[in-house]
Amino acid sequence: MLTEGIKVSYQKEGHQRGDLVWLIDFKNPENNDFVVANQFTVIENGNNKRPDVILFVNGIPLVVIELKNPTDENATIKSAFRQLQTYKEIIPSLFTYNGLMIISDGLEAQAGSLSAGKTRFMAWNMIRNVIII
């Protein structure tokens, strides 16, 4: 739906019409609304959770980021991954349109897809201010 649009039908002048609705304008990125939310509260089935960072495009939560405190020896990249798994179980609607998940312990960062196991999360590297995944 994000890349191919959504088929919709509507009435115009008494006739049924069809068209595509685009959730994201890839040709003109400036037409989109980008929001980064820190500690955004998600309530689902009475569960109240606040992922660390969520990136929205046109109101759609596409990236969920879990950050751990680098000064806490118990806060590891593995614990960040486990926290995302908890979110997926408790607030699954947040991940309906998810494109990317990022985890970090403050020293290391990794990115993976919604269905990726921990071994499939790959290092998030920077070379000369260019992000490489």
Per-residue tens of pLDDT for the chain, all 133 residues: 888 889 999 999 999 999 999 999 999 999 999 999 999 999 999 999 999 999 999 999 999 999 998 888 888 889 999 999 999 999 999 998 888 999 998 888 899 988 888 888 888 766 666 555 5
Are residues 8 and 18 in contact, defined by beta-carbon separation less than 8 angstroms? yes
Q: Yes or no: say if 112 and 101 are a contact pair by the CB < 8 Å rule.
A: yes
Q: Residue 49's pLDDT is what?
A: 93
Pair (66, 128) in one structural domain: yes
Could you tell me if 43 and 24 lie in one domain? no
5 and 55 belong to one structural domain = no
Q: Same domain, yes or no, for 23 and 49?
A: no
Residue 47 confidence (pLDDT): 92
Residue 91 belongs to domain with CATH number: 3.90.1570.50
58 and 95 co-located in one domain? yes
Residues 38, 1 share a domain:
no
Q: Are residues 19 and 38 in the same domain?
A: no
Residues 62 and 113 in one domain: yes
Q: For residue 9, what pLDDT is reported?
A: 93
Based on C-alpha coordinates, what's the Rg of the chain? Answer: 18
Q: Which domain holds residue 6?
A: 1-28
Question: Amino acid identity of 29?
Answer: P
Domain count for the chain: 2
pLDDT at 114: 87
Are 44 and 86 in a shared domain?
Answer: yes
